[in-house]
Amino acid sequence: MNTVEMLDELQNKALHDEKVKNRFLKTKEEEDSLGAFCRACRELGYEIYPMDVVQAGDEFYATMKRSTNGGGENSPKLEGEDDLYEMFFASLEQAEILR
């Protein structure tokens, strides 16, 4: 399972388990929030480290950019699409708003 798949699985767990969600939300309060987030992931059995999240975001963004308008330098900027960490939390916060 790659990092994107692991984050997706963890996100689904957090959306359905308040305890898991609160555990992740609490990591945002840490000085090294990404490091704390990754520790929480590992404690839940997912071997995710900060560089994995950054690299997965870059790869995800590059794939999306290649798929738009031929993927050249003239492709539109995809704001925020390279930050899987922030996207993870945005979906948790959005789900909370919709409740």
* Domain range summary for the chain, segments of one domain joined by +: 3-98
pLDDT one-digit tens code per residue, 51-72? 999 887 666 666 666 666 555 5
CA distance 97 to 22: 15
7-13 long-range contacts (CB < 8 A, ≥24 apart) are 7/48, 7/53, 7/56, 7/84, 7/88, 9/46, 10/41, 10/44, 10/46, 10/88, 11/88, 11/91, 11/92, 13/44
Using 50, 70 and 90 to split pLDDT, how confident is the model at 11? Answer: very high
Q: Is the pLDDT of residue 33 over 60?
A: yes
Question: For residue 56, what pLDDT is reported?
Answer: 79
